């Protein structure tokens, strides 16, 4: 993803473009049913092409999500166009949204790169009366019919608790995601707060890595030179950080398997097959499984519902999740994201065990 300066320039350009755009607002807001089956219709039709926009394809997690999209679109009865990859560029993502709207799509499923910058694309869709479902990342502002996402605060808290229960004292490293994304902010703040409240003998060292593998590797290498005595690592995205982290530890002779003296306890987020293999080998200890299959399934479910005029309100669903109202007023279906360790890593129900 772009660096801080480039991201600010992208956001400034996007917001500048927003200021020149005027028009009436016509969008589907998310409110109404306590169950995911919806309750009736607020008018309008429910058919048409759906555009699906990805944030990137350099992570095994997003590669898996991309593979699930056509399967879930078919099972949910959605006519989805071929996915579009914004290639880690928030400005390109706004262009991709505009291109899809110009193709006449009647719905959009978007995984935002930047929680603030995505507002420009959401406004474009609103002006055309095209509903949007956001997947994985919640926007700070803008109209969406639903956010399909797991509780990212819980990701950070689960990682904190696992490390705190296995490392009694000493230094632990948090390899963070992009703080322009609500996911990066939620995970970072939750981990930091949990350690402070529950495990005060741990000292947290932080690496801002912006979902970039090269950045994570370089900064971890530098940190280990100054702190060879670290005892734990929290990786906020295994799909991006797993390989460079293990390689960096190996290069410094710090990659000890679980049970060996000097083993560094490692917790990750994503639930990709590569993480499961690393757990089986004892290279890492745990990961929080982010449901790529459910993201694709319920992204399609909610966009179909929105195109049909169905609405929702906070409450439990029939798929073991809860719809909550975010501070912005947007509704979010918080899908289950289980902690995976050596005890349950072979569970066939985990999506990471169902892909090649």
Average pLDDT over residues 187-206: 98
pLDDT tier for residue 7 given thresholds of 50, 70 and 90 = very low
Per residue in 22-48, pLDDT (tens digit) is 333 333 333 333 333 333 322 233 579
pLDDT tier for residue 56 given thresholds of 50, 70 and 90 = very high
Fold of domain 29-150+291-336: Rossmann fold (3.40.50)
Is residue 184's pLDDT more than 90? yes
Helix (H) or strand (E) holding 294: helix 292-307
Cα-based distances in Å from 159 to 187, 216, 287: 9, 18, 8
Average pLDDT over residues 329-335: 96
Is residue 21's pLDDT more than 90? no
DSSP structure class, residue 86: -
pLDDT attached to residue 47: 72
The mean pLDDT value of the chain amounts to 89
Average pLDDT over residues 150-179: 96
Q: Which two tokens stand for residue 24?
A: 């009436």
Domain 29-150+291-336 identical in fold to domain 152-289 = yes
Per residue in 306-319, pLDDT (tens digit) is 999 999 999 999 99
Q: What pTM did the predictor assign? A: 0.81
List 206's β-bridge partners, or say none: 174
Per residue in 202-248, pLDDT (tens digit) is 999 999 999 999 999 999 999 999 999 999 999 999 999 999 999 99
Is residue 5's pLDDT more than 70? no
- d(CA 353, CA 356) in angstroms, rounded, equals 8
pLDDT attached to residue 8: 41
Contact between residue 43 and residue 26 where contact means Cβ atoms under 8 Å apart: no
Cα-based distances in Å from 218 to 32, 87, 175, 214, 215: 48, 22, 12, 6, 5
- d(CA 86, CA 79) in angstroms, rounded, equals 21
Q: What are all long-range contacts of 46-49, with beta carbons under 8 Å and residues at least 24 apart?
A: 46/304, 46/307, 46/308, 46/309, 47/79, 47/106, 47/307, 48/79, 48/104, 48/105, 48/106, 48/107, 48/307, 49/79, 49/80, 49/81, 49/103, 49/104, 49/105, 49/106, 49/107
Cα-based distances in Å from 315 to 41, 133, 312, 327: 19, 18, 9, 16
pLDDT tier for residue 355 given thresholds of 50, 70 and 90 = confident
Per residue in 79-104, pLDDT (tens digit) is 999 999 999 999 999 999 999 999 99
Q: pLDDT > 90: what percent of the chain?
A: 85
Backbone angles phi, psi at 333, to 5 degrees: -90, 110
The structure tokens 């999506």 sit at 351
**Cβ neighbour number for residue 72 with a 10 Å cutoff:** 21
List 269's β-bridge partners, or say none: 288
Is residue 281's pLDDT more than 70? yes
- 82 burial via Cβ count (<10 Å: 0-12, 13-18, 19+): exposed
Is residue 124's pLDDT more than 90? yes
Is residue 15's pLDDT more than 90? no
Specify whether domain 152-289 bears CATH 3.40.50.2300.
yes
Domains of the chain, by residue range, sit at 29-150+291-336, 152-289
């Amino acid at each position: 993803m772009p660096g801080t300066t480039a991201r600010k320039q992208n956001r400034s350009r996007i917001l500048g473009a927003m200021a020149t755009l005027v028009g009436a607002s016509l969008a589907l807001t998310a409110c109404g049913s306590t169950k995911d089956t919806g309750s009736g219709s607020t008018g309008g039709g429910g058919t048409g092409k759906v555009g699906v926009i990805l944030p990137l394809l350099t992570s095994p997690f997003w590669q898996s999500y991309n593979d699930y999209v056509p399967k879930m679109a078919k099972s949910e009865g959605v006519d989805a166009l071929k996915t579009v990859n914004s290639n880690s560029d928030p400005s390109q993502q706004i262009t991709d949204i505009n291109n899809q709207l110009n193709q006449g799509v009647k719905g959009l499923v978007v995984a935002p790169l930047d929680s603030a910058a995505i507002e420009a694309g959401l406004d474009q869709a609103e002006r055309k009366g095209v509903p949007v479902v956001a997947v994985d990342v919640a926007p700070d502002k803008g109209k969406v019919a639903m956010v399909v996402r797991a509780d990212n605060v819980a990701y950070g808290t689960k990682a904190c608790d696992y490390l705190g229960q296995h490392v009694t004292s000493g230094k632990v490293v948090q390899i963070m995601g992009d703080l322009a994304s609500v996911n990066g902010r939620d995970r970072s703040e939750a981990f930091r707060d949990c350690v402070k409240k529950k495990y005060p003998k741990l000292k947290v060292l932080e690496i801002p890595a912006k979902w970039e593998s090269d950045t994570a590797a370089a900064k971890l290498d530098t940190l280990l030179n100054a702190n060879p005595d670290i005892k734990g690592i929290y990786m906020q995205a295994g799909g991006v950080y797993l390989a460079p982290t293990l390689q960096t530890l190996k290069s410094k002779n710090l990659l000890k398997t679980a049970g060996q003296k000097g083993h560094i306890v490692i917790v990750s987020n994503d639930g990709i097959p590569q993480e499961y293999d690393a757990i089986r080998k004892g290279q890492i200890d745990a990961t929080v499984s982010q449901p790529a299959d459910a993201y694709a399934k319920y992204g399609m479910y909610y966009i179909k519902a929105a195109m049909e005029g169905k609405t929702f309100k906070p409450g439990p669903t029939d798929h073991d999740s809860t719809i909550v109202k975010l501070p912005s007023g947007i509704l979010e279906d918080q899908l289950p994201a289980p902690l995976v360790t050596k005890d349950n890593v072979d569970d066939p129900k985990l999506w990471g065990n169902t892909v090649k």
